[in-house]
Structure 1
Amino acid sequence: MSLTTEVPAGEAYAAGIPDTDEPYGLFEAWFAEAAAREPNDPNAMCLATCSPDGWPSARMVLLKGRDDRGFVFYTNEHSRKGGELLANPRAALCFHWKSMRRQIRIEGEVERVTAGESDAYFASRSRGSRISAVSSDQSRPLASRAEFERRVAETEARYPGEDVPRPPHWGGFRLLPRMVEFWQDMPYRMHDRLVFERAGEGWTTGRLFP
């Protein structure tokens, strides 16, 4: 049984990727289409980090903001990804919208968002998600599920109302892109790839062989 299939003409986006001189407008257009079409978490992206001694790791996180500076996500800074980002502030993101046959890769340096930004986003989360964030020593060994549930119950008793403060070690990171690549599936693996690389305050752009 073959693990690969050829895509018949007409089943992929036949128009390819339009020419443009900066990546953000195209990202917003693709992201808006994904938000309208993808049934689950169109803002899901793979975040790849690397330890100071060179070991890579990757996991799915959710994009929670974007502006002209970069792409924002949040995490417990005591987690593996948080520790790696603080020790080696370079990372890569990958969006893959399978039903749309599109992918966006982003690479760059990472910085912490401001405490005010982290406070505002944390306050916007559901109470249950805030309780969970306070209760979890993310990525650290857990003796049993019952231990975590006990901690959640203790946190709920400590904060019985809606006011659940953000832990000081929980916050956001912003990836500042130095490279953005758009990939579009095309018939018969003649895929379209458009890459942007940071050049001062602007961008250089070009196409890559599939």
Structure 2
Amino acid sequence: MTVRAHLSPAAVLLSRPAPAGQAPPFPGEAPDTPGPLVLRWLREAADAGVGALQAATLATVDGDGNPDARVLVLRDVSPDGASWTFATDRGSPKGRQLAANPGAALTLHWPEQARQLRVRGKVTAGSREEAAAEFRTRSPAARVAARTGHQSEALTSDDAYREAEAAARATVSETPDAVPAGHTVYTLHAGEVEFWQGSPDRFHQRLHYRRTDDGWNRRRLWP
């Protein structure tokens, strides 16, 4: 009997070999700041047709010190790679958690290229003007979604959801530029940025930047 025969059904599925992504070459000459390399990786991922290019996992900590994570849309990155922007409702769990503890981490994963971007730092909330400007770049469907119900609160029925959606759709139709009161733009100010390049032979590459008072400290890390 093989070891695999002792695995649970879930473990058997999880142990299946993943399709090898196309691993582009790791940068030989790394820039002094992470920004140019972030932009290069974004451009290469977009050119390669990577799906869900903007999908980023935001990790926060709740009031009991327990970690929490969810996938959201990354809206922007500053040219130097120091500021990473996303938006949500400040009354949502992540908004409340960031208000209590602004420390957070972001991870982008592009399996098609066997790449990850990892960012850690402190998060600040933007102004109402920034929130309005960001909200007005959204599609009508995204505006309706942002107005439908109260994020992460208990849902009593599908009918309740459809009624809230219909009300939100009417509001967006009548006042398309009106911004929900809780809509907030957040910026993660990166203290660390890491580039992870996977390889089929498991010779993974990691390049780590740490922000200091004098700029960025760059180093390679063991896989």
Are 1:152 and 2:165 an aligned pair? yes
Report the CA distance between 1:129 and its aligned residue.
1.9
RMSD: 2.3
Are 1:85 and 2:98 an aligned pair? yes
CA–CA separation in structure 2 for the residues paired with 1:6 and 1:48: 25
Q: Which residue is equivalent to 2:187?
A: 174
Of residues 56, 66, 70 in structure 2, which corresponds to 1:45? 56
Change (3 A) 1:157 1:182: closer
CA–CA separation in structure 1 for the residues paired with 2:198 and 2:142: 36
The TM-score, its normalising length taken from structure 1, stands at 0.90
Change (3 A) 1:202 1:26: same
Secondary structure of the 1:131 match is helix
The TM-score, its normalising length taken from structure 2, stands at 0.85
CA–CA separation in structure 1 for the residues paired with 2:19 and 2:48: 20
CA–CA separation in structure 2 for the residues paired with 1:59 and 1:158: 28
* Equivalent residues of 2:116, 2:195 under 8 A apart: yes
Of residues 34, 39, 46 in structure 2, which corresponds to 1:23? 34
Secondary structure of the 1:119 match is helix
Report the CA distance between 1:74 and its aligned residue.
0.7
Change (3 A) 1:155 1:7: closer
Change (3 A) 1:156 1:186: closer
Aligned partner letter, 1:66: V
* Equivalent residues of 1:179, 1:196 under 8 A apart: yes
Q: Which residue is equivalent to 1:94?
A: 107
* Equivalent residues of 1:50, 1:56 under 8 A apart: yes
Of residues 94, 106, 114 in structure 1, which corresponds to 2:119? 106
More divergent stretch after superposition (165-174 vs 154-163): 154-163
Aligned partner letter, 1:49: T
Report the CA distance between 1:164 and its aligned residue.
4.3
Give the structure, 1 or 2, with the largest relative contact order (CA under 8 Å, sep 6 or more): 1
Aligned partner letter, 2:92: S
More divergent stretch after superposition (19-28 vs 125-134): 125-134
Aligned partner letter, 2:207: L
Q: Which residue is equivalent to 1:135?
A: 148
Report the CA distance between 1:17 and its aligned residue.
2.9
Which 4+ residue blocks in structure 1 deviate beyond 4 angstroms? Answer: 4-8
Aligned partner letter, 1:16: F
CA–CA separation in structure 1 for the residues paired with 2:51 and 2:157: 29
More divergent stretch after superposition (43-52 vs 160-169): 160-169
CA–CA separation in structure 2 for the residues paired with 1:96 and 1:207: 19
- Mark the runs of 5 or more structure 1 residues left unpaired by the alignment: none
More divergent stretch after superposition (44-53 vs 152-161): 152-161
Report the CA distance between 1:201 and its aligned residue.
4.8
* Equivalent residues of 1:127, 1:162 under 8 A apart: no
More divergent stretch after superposition (99-108 vs 163-172): 163-172
* Equivalent residues of 2:50, 2:112 under 8 A apart: no
Q: Which residue is equivalent to 2:217?
A: 204
Report the CA distance between 1:16 and its aligned residue.
2.2
